[in-house]
Amino acid sequence: MRTIIFITTLLLMTGHMAMAAEIKNYTLHISKINQEAANLHITCSFSLDFQNEDSISMNLGGGQEFSIENLKVDGDTLEYEYNREAKNIVIRKKAKRSVHVTINYNYTNLSAFFIYGEGDTELWETSFGEHFYPYIPNKYMNVAINVETPDSLSFLCSYPLKSSHTTNYSGKLKHILSQSITLAFMRNNAYQQTAAYLPDKVSVYQIKDMQCGKKRYEELLQLTKASIVFLAKSMAKTIFPMHEM
């Protein structure tokens, strides 16, 4: 009898989870072109299937009242509410269960400034409470991302992106934690860039006139290599735990 109750409960829970709202075909376009320091123009679009839900809440916004400006949400048969204090946007079903959503806005992030020596860098991280792109927290997602930068900036991302040329970066990221996209924009005239192979190619940026010596440089490369190996093993255990059995 207990077995029957357990199986019934499990099926009910599975059915409820299967009916949760889904976001698909997420594209994220980020532009630094003609933007002042600590500013980005962002366009994102996705297909939203409400399933049995009447609304869906996504993190969006930051610590300042002016974090989000010129917000425009386009979508057939939907309503939305942007909550500045709560740092989220709530999209509500109006008629259709499945809708396509496009969101445009300018984002100002004063916490992005990372100043060390003469190297003025912008670090964009959601962990700072700056939700510069909309996402459902603690969920895994697929996203096609494109980033445009001016010639004066170098760019780094927490995930590998391909570059068609030095000002355009793109990639299709699969099964990533929704809040894990981190960006860095660095002034070319402030940094010296070198390359190393561990064995894959890595780019090393050092502030000009503050570069470390050859011995320390090699030590840092070895530490980086060890970190990559450690993280790879840790992720393998997390994603594929059955391999340990």
Q: Give residue-wise pLDDT tens across range 132-170.
A: 999 999 999 999 999 999 999 999 999 999 997 779 999
In a domain, 208, yes or no: no
- Domain at 71, CATH number: 2.60.40.1730
Residue 236 lies in a domain: no
Give the total number of structural domains in the chain. Answer: 1
Contact yes or no for 28/133 (Cβ under 8 A)? yes
The tens digit of pLDDT for each residue in 70-105 reads 999 997 678 999 999 999 999 998 888 889 999 999
**Euclidean distance between CA atoms 2 and 111, whole angstroms:** 54
Residue 178 covered by a domain: yes
Give domain status of residue 71, yes or no: yes
